[in-house]
C-alpha cells in the first residue's frame, strides 16, 4: 500500500413536494452519489493470459507467487428517481406507496451473488466496472395501518360494554408489501481457461441471447446456457460483470393487532403476524457456472410463510 488516498462520497439530491388533497402528500425526488478512492486489492505479480508457458514464467517476478496490493483506486456511483405518495394518519388510517427506479455501478464486487474478480480483472479496471451486486433497478413498497372502527370511541358498536365491548374494541390491521426487480450476477466457468493460475472465476464468451430459454424461463433453466461458450484456452472471456438478472422478489407481510388499555399509561398489545402471507416462492440466484451440469438451475429460495404470536406491554 502506497500513496493511499482517503475515500469520500459526494451526495446530491433535489425534490418536489405537493399536497393536492387534505392529508395527502406527494414527494418526487432525485438522489445520487459518487464514491471515489474506495479500497481495492489487486495482484502485482499477475501472469498475463497465454496458451503457452507455465504460469510462473509469465509473472513479472517469476521467483514470487501472488503479491497482493491494497490501493484506493475503486469507485462507485448511484442514481435514482424516488416517488412517495402518502396518506397521513387520518380517521384511523394511514397509507403509503414508495417507488424507486435506480442504478448502482461500481468497480469492485462485495461478494453477494457477484463473481470474484478473475485473476486479471483487478489489473484491468474496465473488466470489473458494472452493476453493483445489490443493484435492484425497481423497488415498490406499499404499507398501511388501519384501526377498525368498532368498539369504544369508534364509529360502530361504541356503546357496547363489558366482555362484548372488550372483544370488539382495539383491533388494528397493518401490512407491508415489497416488490423488487432481480439482482444481477456474473456467469463464470469452473476451469482456469485463461491459464493465469485461478479457478472458478474466469468468464466465458457470449455467443447468443441468454434470455432466449427454450421452453421459457423456469427455475430449472433460468438462462440459456447455450448462449455461452468457453473462451479459447489462454484467452479472456468477453462476458461482462453482473450482466444477467436473477429472480424478482415479491413479499407481503400482514399483522392483526388488538390493543387493551391497562390504566392511563399502559397498553397490552396482542400481535398476530404473518410474514410472506401468500407463501410466494422467492428464489435465490441460479447456478452461474456455465460448464456445470447444474448450470442455470435454481436450488434454493428465501423463507416460506412464517406466523408468530406475541404479547407486548407498551408504557
**pLDDT of res. 174:** 97
Residue with more model confidence, 224 or 1:
224
Question: Cα–Cα distance between 228 and 239 in angstroms, integer?
Answer: 9
DSSP 8-state assignment for residue 146: E
Q: What is the mean pLDDT of residues 223-239?
A: 93
State how far the Cα of 208 lies from the Cα of 188, in Å rounded to an integer. 16
**Domain residue ranges in the chain:** 12-35+76-314
Q: Confidence band (pLDDT; 50, 70, 90) for 125?
A: low
Q: Which residues contact 17 (CB under 8 A, 6 or more apart)?
A: 25, 26, 27, 28
Q: Please determine, for residue 168, whether its predicted confidence score (pLDDT) is greater than 50.
A: yes
Helix spans in 40-93 (H): none
- Give the whole-angstrom CA distance, residue 87 versus residue 75: 39
Question: What is the predicted pLDDT for the residue at 117?
Answer: 52
Mean pLDDT of 198-202: 72
Task: Look at residues 25, 24, 21, 58 and name the one whose alpha carbon lies nearest to residue 43.
Answer: 58
Q: Taking 80 as the threshold, does the pLDDT of residue 114 lie above it?
A: no
Please give the pLDDT value at position 126: 62
**pLDDT tens-digit series, residues 99-109:** 999 999 998 76
**Phi, psi (deg, nearest 5) at residue 49:** -60, 140
Average pLDDT, the chain: 89
**Residue 197 pLDDT > 50, yes or no?**
yes
Which helix (H) or strand (E) is 162 found in, with range?
Answer: helix 162-168
Please tell me what DSSP assigns to residue 117.
P
Give the per-residue pLDDT at 39.
87
Q: What confidence tens digit (pLDDT) does each residue in 28-41 have?
A: 999 999 999 988 88
**Calpha distance 168→3 (Å, rounded):** 70
Distance CA 218, CA 275 (A): 25
CB 115 within 8 A of CB 122: no
- Residue 2 predicted with pLDDT over 70: no
Amino acid at each position: 500500500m502506497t500513496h493511499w488516498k482517503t475515500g469520500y462520497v459526494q451526495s446530491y439530491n433535489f425534490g418536489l413536494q405537493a399536497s393536492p388533497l387534505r392529508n395527502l402528500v406527494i414527494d418526487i425526488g432525485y438522489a445520487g452519489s459518487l464514491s471515489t478512492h474506495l479500497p481495492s486489492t489487486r495482484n502485482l505479480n499477475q501472469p498475463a493470459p497465454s496458451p503457452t508457458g507455465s504460469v510462473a514464467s509469465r509473472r513479472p517476478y517469476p521467483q514470487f507467487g501472488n503479491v497482493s496490493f491494497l490501493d484506493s483506486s475503486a469507485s462507485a456511483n448511484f442514481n435514482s428517481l424516488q416517488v412517495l405518495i402518502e396518506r397521513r394518519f387520518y380517521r384511523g388510517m394511514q397509507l403509503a406507496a414508495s417507488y424507486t427506479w435506480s442504478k448502482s455501478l461500481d468497480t469492485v464486487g462485495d461478494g453477494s451473488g457477484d463473481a470474484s474478480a478473475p485473476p486479471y480483472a483487478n489489473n484491468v479496471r474496465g473488466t470489473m466496472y458494472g452493476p453493483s451486486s445489490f443493484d435492484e433497478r425497481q423497488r415498490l413498497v406499499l404499507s398501511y395501518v388501519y384501526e377498525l372502527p368498532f368498539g369504544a370511541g369508534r364509529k360502530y358498536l361504541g356503546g357496547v360494554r363489558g366482555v362484548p365491548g372488550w372483544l370488539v374494541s382495539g383491533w388494528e390491521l397493518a401490512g407491508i408489501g415489497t416488490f423488487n426487480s432481480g439482482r444481477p450476477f456474473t456467469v463464470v466457468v469452473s476451469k482456469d481457461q485463461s491459464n493465469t493460475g485461478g479457478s472458478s472465476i474466469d468468464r466465458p464468451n457470449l455467443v447468443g441471447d441468454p434470455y432466449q430459454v427454450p421452453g421459457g424461463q423456469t427455475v430449472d433453466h433460468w438462462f440459456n446456457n447455450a448462449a455461452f461458450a468457453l473462451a479459447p484456452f489462454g484467452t479472456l472471456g468477453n462476458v461482462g460483470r453482473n450482466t444477467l438478472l436473477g429472480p424478482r422478489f415479491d413479499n407481503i407481510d400482514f399483522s392483526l393487532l388488538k390493543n387493551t388499555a391497562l390504566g392511563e399509561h399502559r397498553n397490552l398489545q396482542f400481535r398476530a403476524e404473518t410474514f410472506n402471507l401468500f407463501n410466494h416462492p422467492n428464489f435465490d440466484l441460479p447456478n452461474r457456472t456455465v460448464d456445470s451440469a447444474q448450470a442455470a438451475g435454481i436450488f434454493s429460495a428465501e423463507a416460506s410463510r412464517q406466523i408468530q404470536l406475541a404479547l407486548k406491554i407498551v408504557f
